[in-house]
């Protein structure tokens, strides 16, 4: 996984509940379900290998109580939505940013 969302949860909830909350937030924010969650080996503690529909992997480069969650397969990623630039009618563009007309 190259890109993902970092989620922090140091509560007393069970690991599968923490991951479930992270998955729900990821889906709400990005509009798709994640497929992978990477956690510190101490957080995993030799436990489960899947929860809330995502595969769980351990990696020492993820801090304890942090959950790196995202889509492992680049082909499954959804492109981010482009947000239109909103400009009020009174806004004027800076002269240096005006496009020159083609000759």
In tens, the pLDDT along 34-56 reads 999 999 999 887 778 888 889 99
* pLDDT for res 52: 86
Shortest CA distance to 21 belongs to which of 61, 65, 80?
65
Give Cβ neighbours of residue 45 (< 8 Å, ≥ 6 apart).
Answer: 15
Instruction: Tell me what the pLDDT averaged over the chain comes to.
Output: 82
The answer to whether the predicted template modeling score (pTM) of the entire model surpasses 0.75 is no
**In the chain, how many domains are there?**
1
Q: Is residue 21 part of a domain?
A: yes
The domain of 70 spans: 5-74
């Amino acid at each position: 996984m190259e890109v993902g969302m970092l989620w922090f949860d140091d509560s007393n909830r069970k690991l599968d509940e923490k991951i479930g909350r992270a998955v729900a937030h990821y889906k709400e924010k990005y509009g798709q379900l994640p497929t992978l969650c990477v956690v510190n080996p101490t957080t995993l503690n030799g436990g489960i290998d899947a929860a809330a529909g995502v595969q769980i992997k351990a990696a020492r480069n993820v801090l304890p109580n942090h959950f790196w969650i995202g889509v492992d397969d680049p082909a499954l990623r959804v492109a981010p939505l482009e947000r239109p630039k909103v400009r009020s009618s009174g806004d004027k563009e800076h002269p240096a940013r005006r496009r020159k007309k083609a000759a």
